[in-house]
Amino acid sequence: MDFAETDEQAMIRDMVRDFAETVAGPSCHQRDKEQRPPIDEFKEFAGLGFAGMTISEEYGGQKLDDISEAIVIEELSRVDSSLGVMVAVHVGLCSMTIVLNGNEEQKKKYLPKLASGEHLGAYSLSEAGSGTDAAAMVAKATEDGSNFILNGEKMWVTNGTTADLFVVFAKVTDDPEYGKKKHGGVTGFIIEKDFEGFKIGKKEDKLGIRSSDTCTLILDNCKVPKENVLGEVGKGFAIAMNALDNSRIGIAAQALGIAQGAYEAALKYSKERETFGKPIAAHQSISNYLAEMAMRIDAARLQVYKAAWSKMKHYEEDGDRHTLEASFAKLNAGDTAMWVSEKAVQILGGYGYTTEFPVERFFRDAKITQIYEGTQEVQRLVIAREIGK
């Protein structure tokens, strides 16, 4: 067991930290206000090679180890968690899902542009009536010659208004399991934004991660060539669940970055702000908060990196599936982000409640990490099932 970062991981952390502070940081407050996606920042980040961090060189990527991937998302989110989730969804839910399930033609066609950042990726599973209960989706796909025709409305799509390529799930009605099993017929499709019948719907006005765009997708007789089926017809639910096992580690890393950013802001403020003749950090009521923030962040960090390590062992050494570790990390890191950012606002007092300081944004951004890519309640359900096996 070795808890130290490798030289390469330390170098990646420094590089991403520098990018986050100097490129994303200066515009992130204004983007949050205007709900403007960080697409320019994403393109610039892609220029450093990070858009292809889950894709091998063969398809134009610069594959990083899974702990480095978590470090990248953590460091972006320490400054700008909207950019953090944009990158996490692109490299995880979209690119990695194609890496794992795409055929050779699909990989050759789609991965190089995702790797270079020319195309931004998104993933779409949920619908108005099926978030937690993902298998209850009603979007349908019917065969029509060399195409599938998709109809339905998808919801909560991160990167939805800015993405070029979407991994979308719908139920194929001709599948023999359709209507028999709850997730019968669920199939993954790779959809280009210009496909006929594919429309961007309503953009959500959100509490937090306001610079990250979230919208509905309308499948209005959307024509998808059969060669764009991801994996096998009817086998999409396992693909969707497996994608979430991978990407929940990214959201846990995002939560970790939010907690770290909020903690650092509170620590700095508490050393500068004086009451009763001394810095507030010297008052036990505040130093106790700071101590607990540091301890909780350290615990969350260990779990996030362990989950990333388990994912790596699963794919590279045929180790056990990392479902349990991913849910542990997401549950703990999400709660840590919420707890730490709330305490950071408290430490800054009235100032923390204003937009003069970043802690109010961290506080708003933290909440979503307890909701998306499986609520905290879903993580408990998954954990309970895994430990009960």
| Direct distance between the N- and C-terminal alpha carbons of the chain, in angstroms, rounded to an integer | 27
Give the x/- contact pattern for ligand CAA in 367-386, rule: CB under 6 A.
-----xxx---x--xx----
- What are 104's two structure tokens? 């050779």
> 179 phi and psi, to 5 degrees?
85, -15
Q: Which of 237, 269, 305, 362 binds ligand CAA (CB under 6 A)?
A: 237
Q: Of how many residues is the chain composed?
A: 389
What single letter denotes the amino acid at residue 207?
Answer: L
DSSP per position, 298-366: HHHHHHHHHHHHHHHHHHHH-----HHHHHHHHHHHHHHHHHHHHHHHHHHHHHHTSTTSTHHHHHHHH
- Separation of alpha carbons 232 and 239, rounded Å: 10
- What are 297's two structure tokens? 């962040």
Choose one: 6-14, 138-146, 238-246, 261-269; the region binding ligand CAA (CB under 6 A): 238-246
Counting residues that bind ligand CAA (by CB under 6 A) gives 26
**132 lines the binding site for ligand CAA (CB under 6 A):** yes
Give the residue with the Cβ less far from ligand CAA, 90 or 296: 90
Q: Which of 42, 110, 156, 289 binds ligand CAA (CB under 6 A)?
A: 156
Q: Which of 120, 125, 165, 290 binds ligand CAA (CB under 6 A)?
A: 125
Give the residue with the Cβ less far from ligand CAA, 24 or 93: 93
- Which residues, other chains included, contact 40 with Cβ-Cβ below 8 Å and sequence gap of 6+? none
Q: How many CB atoms lie within 10 A of CB 376?
A: 17
**172 lines the binding site for ligand CAA (CB under 6 A):** no
- Separation of alpha carbons 324 and 92, rounded Å: 18
Known active-site residue 373: yes
The residue with tokens 């846990």 is: 252
Query: Which of 139, 91, 54 lies closest to 312 in space, CA to CA?
Result: 54
Considering only residues 51 to 110 of the shown chain, the ones binding ligand CAA according to CB under 6 A are 89
Give the residue with the Cβ less far from ligand CAA, 117 or 121: 121
Give the residue with the Cβ less far from ligand CAA, 174 or 196: 174
**126 lines the binding site for ligand CAA (CB under 6 A):** yes
The residue with tokens 């840590």 is: 336
- Separation of alpha carbons 257 and 86, rounded Å: 14
Q: Which of 241, 267, 282, 294 binds ligand CAA (CB under 6 A)?
A: 241
- Which residues, other chains included, contact 229 with Cβ-Cβ below 8 Å and sequence gap of 6+? 148, 187, 188, 189
Considering only residues 264 to 303 of the shown chain, the ones binding ligand CAA according to CB under 6 A are none
Catalytic residue among 44, 373, 377, 386: 373
Query: Which neighbouring-strand residues pair with 270?
Result: none
State the nearest-atom distance from the C-beta of 158 to ligand CAA, in Å.
3
- Separation of alpha carbons 70 and 229, rounded Å: 29
State the nearest-atom distance from the C-beta of 88 to ligand CAA, in Å.
8
Q: Which of 16, 111, 134, 348 binds ligand CAA (CB under 6 A)?
A: 134
Give the residue with the Cβ less far from ligand CAA, 108 or 199: 199
**157 lines the binding site for ligand CAA (CB under 6 A):** yes
Give the residue with the Cβ less far from ligand CAA, 133 or 274: 133
Q: Which of 90, 183, 210, 296 binds ligand CAA (CB under 6 A)?
A: 183
Give the residue with the Cβ less far from ligand CAA, 287 or 376: 376
Q: Which residues participate in catalysis according to the annotation?
A: 373
Given the rule CB under 6 A, which residues bind ligand CAA? Answer: 89, 123, 125-126, 132-135, 156-158, 182-183, 237-238, 241-242, 244-245, 323, 372-374, 378, 381-382
